[in-house]
Structure 1
């Protein structure tokens, strides 16, 4: 193809949709004020190229900068609160939001990326001391212009770690602040009542046709996330949240250079630094000698990246994209415990006559360097129209973890580096590096009303740990490397029956190689007599995902129905592989030295199936409505047990109005969020507290108080409902017999407000 590139909505591969778009009010043909607010949104994640959400053969949703401004989420869990098939579990004791869960798949099986750069791994070391966690660290929300959520296996485009889906964060460009001006500045101030936080963000941008620049700075300070608990004090039954002081600061700097027609160079620096200090007043029943504790977290992520986009007027490609990046992430956690009436060795469980201080330090560091190349070309062969996407991704990931304890017996004056049979510092898994190389190809083939999209990705992953060995029960365990390769094919199709009705389907192969912790995790607690062992024979996870659906226009609205069935083989799970009852006379694991042994193993088969219905309608008088409902069921089919990572059915409804007051634009939204009770649970290890069903209503309004100033207000949980999220219950392993379950309730009625001013 040659000549000037047309806007994406007029490219040849979209011509079959133009009649439908004209009838439906496409943003290419209609007044922007009348454009559909949801289904016409541009997305990149589904195909790695710009297209519209309603033309891809899968389920993808978009949160725009306007959505973020109106909702003012206080963390990653609140960011996706209106997506009934997406949830982020929180550790409400101290660490907050963790990993993203899409349709029951979570952790490092869901790829999170910012501007195409993979975010760091999520790590949770577990244990009653709650001292070893590292989150994947999303970008500052005030730096985002769009968030895309792609459901289902996406390994055919993104390789390992995209087994359950993709969350793509896209940050602001200078032109998003400049608009049509050459110089611009913006201030945004946000107060969130849920965690009593205040955030200030300043944006500065300038540019011309050749050069554009953006600098954004943000600062935030707040306290603990509120809940509906009442009982205070310091005990295992505390219901009020642990007191906490939080702060964060971030920087986004971007330079865009257009040295010649068709060329764009983009340089980016992004930084986020988070700190928290917690007083851990809710104590663990499994450590009865711990009488007081406090903790601090310090997390920082820095990214530098470069990308070059070339759109030649004529040549062998329509678009070439070359990018390279380096990302550094570090989490440091400190926990200081006071152990009272304990033994001379400072046991956390056994009574004695000593008082001890346990100073626990945990470091988790990740370095990632990568590059990618992508080529796009549209062409015609006979009656077929093609749009080819070819590319390669390379990444090197280095990881290092360390725990270092200092034990002070205040009664005897003894200072030691040994506790519970371990001598510090030590590592829970071997440091080292993994490298991955992926080659991918995809072709959108258009023929009349039908578009077929075959795709294939080839991946090679190498795991190379440093030497590390440990002896437990007379057996020595050593770190081992692994090499894995996989082919991930995909076949998708869309058939447009009429301008108002289309059907789609896809079959996608997923793949995820085991990571460091799963292959080489090694931990032993002699006092409590349990161990976690490495598994050098761990196999990669694979999946086959099938999704079928339909998009149609009904009664002035756009409706999307999706049915999916995802089957996983060699599903990696950390399981109890050997156990002896506490009353037994002799331990039976690892040379009769350990009572309980955990290990990451492959479960033969897991299945998650579900159905979703979502849509939006334009109503008379400036009113609009939207809604979504998601149901899914997960099973470890090889063991005939429920899969606990699947949430109960959830519902989202919205009724909004767009109009004006005193000549000023005003938007008002009323949202209902609801979920069923969680009743299908695998309680073989923990008799979980079942989260009851709930229904919560939120109100929000956005008023243009001045041509360059906008005020946003949100009143969340309007009726002060007391409710729990299953994801939070499961995250901490809350049992039905545990005291003070109200500690894990969500915030009650809370207000959030923001003011944005352009200069």
Structure 2
């Protein structure tokens, strides 16, 4: 009898465990199958219907990360390498492409503007991660939908929307608050958000203030190597003289701290169940951001710089969005946005023992619009859209004598006259669903037109070149086609071909008047063409709700890459510049390169609450330099992450590690942005 009872209990337990496991599988698979993304299309689209690789970080995951900045959110995923020249920064790298060669996009609006450079860009930290509903990373060329600069991928930042109430009376529909203190850099952050609304109107306000103290670096490592990175000195001005003062704590990175303030205000109006209007206002501002790397450099045993800092990173956005869904007629969905952005950035530097403080300030206004319509039926989804971005830049500069206050002229970073760059695009994107949705095809095409015009006014101080007007126009045609096959709810195969382009901007065309006296003069080249990438992606994923394995690989061919090389100007290989006959160089579409790589993601969920996760990504890049393969810059070493997570309804805990492999000295680019001179000795 006891044996019978025992068998019944054992059978019941197994049945219960099986039932819970099956429930877990079904629940997780249901979430995966119904997850929506917007980076693969201008409209909400099920992730399973997009053939290109997309990673999504939800607001819940970001809250669990508790990261200090949006750049740190990307780092914590273990899927994106982020470069930092200073604490007040973060430049994402996607598949060996960085800065102006990837696109940042907030709420469907391009953040990339006409002065985005190809070095390192830290604009992503001007987007408050506490205001985000979702972050999406689209891997590989994605210019069909997103236009110029999407050579290596797109980072789409979707902010939270106001939540409407259910009645006519106004009510509180949401609040959030955060108070954080971090010991490593004495960070202090306060975030407050509030949402209220009724059936037809809703408003959201979100404010964040952060103060970041000086960073403290790690102390563990090989002594001979660690000694290279110690901050042994600081420069103080004593009795009007720059003086080198020993740093009492060489592991503390003096002059690396800064503060930042972010504000977002949104208003939502429902004119009907199908139509919504949105006003989106954003502001981000910071204090001066020290360039710690520059302040650490020495020359002949003395500091190279007494001062080197970015001025406040100031960004504003004002946008009106119109959205209509589930309309009658051929086009079921309509989305339209008009926007205006203003960005101010500046650079300030003074050499050690010099009285001259250089100020260079760039102010850029960016107006834009995009309109998209979508038709949906059981088999087809067709999206047709157009977009434009109008850039207007003012570049100013001066030298300030810190002893006398006297101000004098200084060459500007870009031409000091009118600077305009305009981009226009027209695109078509199609999703075809066959075999009851088991086979999905994506295809699309885009045409883009770009014009650029700059004027030099003060040629007596600015460059002394025999021209004052620069103009350029170019066109680009790009597209994509891909297939995804899902034989069942657990298995998915995908292949995707896509191309991307980047139109030359002011940084390529006009910020080129830097001379090595008598040796090198870089002049404008109005024949520059857009850079282009052509890419193939392969992937396979198995997810039964307990085990989730995703394996992927890619190959990207990079053509018309812009590099600086010898040039002829008006038929001559040298021109008289500042009284010296100087060889001529120019930016040219000369380089060809390739990047390939792959990786995997693994998640094991033995229970609904406990999970183990691991990921790793590898990238390899080379460019062709006179038939010799040379390392491509911006290519990161192996990166990865592993962790153990436990989660309940009101509790979350995770132990994780983010790591990267070494980058061998022979894998550093001899030029460009890799900065071999700062590499760790092997």
**Same fold (TM > 0.5):** yes
Match of 1:232 in 2: 232
Aligned to 1:266: 278
Partner of residue 655, structure 1: 644
The separation in 2 between residues aligned to 1:496 and 1:126, in whole angstroms, is 38
Tell me the residue number matched to 1:19: none
Using the alignment, how far apart are the partners of 1:414 and 1:328 within structure 2? 29
* 2:434 corresponds to 1:444: no
Provide structure 2 residue ranges, at least 5 long, that are not aligned to the other structure: 1-20, 219-228, 236-243, 568-572
State which of 313, 323, 334 in structure 2 corresponds to 1:299: 313
Whether 1:485 aligns to 2:475 is yes
Query: Partner of 2:106 in structure 1?
Result: 114
1:674 aligns with 2:655: no
Structure 2 CA distance for partners of 1:178 and 1:331, relative to 1, 3 Å: farther
User: How far apart are 1:673 and its partner, in Å?
Assistant: 1.9
Q: State the Cα distance separating 1:188 from its structure 2 match.
A: 1.5
What is the Cα deviation at residue 254 of structure 1?
0.7
The answer to whether residue 216 in structure 2 is matched with residue 209 in structure 1 is no
Task: Give 1:731 deviation, angstroms.
Answer: 5.8
Instruction: For 1:440-479, list aligned pairs within 5 A.
Output: 440-448=427-435, 449-467=438-456, 476=466, 478-479=468-469
Q: In 2, distance between residues paired with 1:604 and 1:268?
A: 41
- CA shift digits 1:622-679 (9 cap, x unpaired): 31122211111101035411112111112211211124xxxx7322112122222101
TM-score (norm 2): 0.82
SS in structure 2 opposite 1:523? coil
Tell me if the contact between 1:453 and 1:493 (Cα under 8 Å) persists in the aligned partners: yes
Q: Counterpart of 1:353? A: none
Corresponding residue for residue 532 of structure 2: 542
The alpha carbon displacement at 1:114 in A equals 0.8
- What does residue 102 of structure 1 align with? 94
Distance 1:336 1:657, change over 3 A: same
> How far, CA to CA, are the matches of 2:163 and 2:118 in structure 1?
44
- State the shift of 1:514 in Å: 0.6
1:200–1:731 Cα change, 3 Å: farther
Structure 1: gaps spanning 5 or more residues: 1-22, 340-355, 418-422, 579-587, 689-729, 742-759
Cα 1:278/1:313, change in 2 over 3 Å: closer
Secondary structure at the counterpart of residue 637 of structure 1: strand
How far did 1:226 drift? 2.5
Q: 1:528: Cα distance to partner?
A: 9.4
The answer to whether the 8 A contact 1:369-1:395 is kept is yes
Q: Any idea what SS the aligned residue of 2:190 has?
A: strand
Shift of 1:555: 8.3
User: What residue in structure 1 maps to residue 604 of structure 2?
Assistant: 617
1:148 is aligned to 2:136: yes
Matched residue, 1:512? 502
Q: Is the 8 A contact 1:99 1:122 kept in 2?
A: no
- Residue 139 of structure 1 corresponds to which residue in structure 2? 127
**What is residue 150 of structure 2 aligned with on the other side?**
162
Aligned ranges 1:584-603 → 2 under 5 Å:
590=575, 593=580, 599-603=586-590
More deviation in 238-247 or 106-115?
A: 238-247
1:499 alignment partner in structure 2: 489
Corresponding position of 1:75: 69
1:43 aligns with 2:29: no
- 2:366 aligned to 350, 365, 368, which one? 368
Alignment partners' CA distance in 1, 2:93 and 2:324:
36
Residue pair 2:188, 2:210 contacting (<8 A) in 1 also: yes
Contact 1:629 1:651 in 2 (8 A): yes
Contact 1:521-1:532 within 8 A present in 2 as well: no
Distance 1:42 1:314, change over 3 A: same
Which segment is superposed worse, 386-395 or 498-507? Answer: 498-507
Structure 1 pair 134/504, CA: closer, same or farther in 2 (3 Å)? Answer: closer
Q: Cα offset for 1:138?
A: 3.5
State the Cα distance separating 1:362 from its structure 2 match: 1.5
- C-alpha distance in structure 2 between counterparts of 1:684 and 1:183, whole Å: 53
Q: Which moved more, 1:463-472 or 1:137-146?
A: 463-472
SS of the aligned residue for 1:146 comes to strand
Contact 1:177 1:184 in 2 (8 A): no
Following superposition, the deviation at residue 239 of structure 1 comes to: 6.1
Aligned length: 623
CA distance in 2, matches of 1:458, 1:399: 25
In the alignment, the residues of structure 1 paired with residue 360 and residue 272 of structure 2 have an alpha-carbon distance, to the nearest angstrom, of 49
- Whether contact under 8 Å (1:134, 1:331) holds in the other structure is no
For residues 339-364 of structure 1, the C-alpha deviation after alignment (integer angstroms, 9 at most, x for no partner) is: 2xxxxxxxxxxxxxxxx411111111
Distance in 2 separating the partners of 1:121 and 1:286: 39
> Aligned partners of 2:405 and 2:336: how far apart in 1?
59
* Contact 1:611–1:630 (8 Å) recurs in 2: yes
- Give distance in 1, aligned partners of 2:333 and 2:405: 67
**TM-score normalized by structure 1?**
0.74
Q: Please say if 1:188 is aligned against 2:178.
A: yes
Q: Note if contact 1:186-1:202 (Cα within 8 Å) is conserved in structure 2.
A: yes
> Is the CA contact 1:276–1:297 (under 8 Å) kept in the aligned structure 2?
yes
Contact 1:533/1:597 (<8 A) preserved: yes
Aligned Cα root-mean-square deviation (Å) = 3.6
Structure 2 residue aligned with 1:558, among 530, 548, 555? 548
State how far apart, in whole Å, the 1-side matches of 2:677 and 2:338 are.
43
Separation (CA, whole Å) in 1 of partners of 2:382 and 2:116: 40
CA gap of 1:737–1:87, structure 2 versus 1, over 3 A, is closer
Q: Is the 8 A contact 2:164 2:202 kept in 1?
A: no
Contact 1:440 1:458 in 2 (8 A): yes
Q: Deviations over 1:283-336 (max 9, x none)?
A: 442896857336462121111111111124522321111111111111133334
Q: What residue is the counterpart of 2:376 in the other structure?
A: 378
Q: Which residue of 2 aligns with 1:640?
A: 629
User: SS state of the match for residue 412, structure 2?
Assistant: coil
Residues 698-709 of structure 1 mapped to structure 2, 5 A cutoff: none
Residues in 2 aligned to 1:598 and 1:234: alpha-carbon distance in whole angstroms:
38
Deviation at 1:248, TM superposition (A): 1.3
* C-alpha contact 1:104 1:608 (8 A) present in aligned 2: yes
**Equivalent residue, structure 2, for 1:314:** 328
Alignment of 1:248 with 2:238, yes or no, is no
Q: Is it true that 1:735 corresponds to 2:682 in the alignment?
A: no
Give SS of 1:517's match.
helix
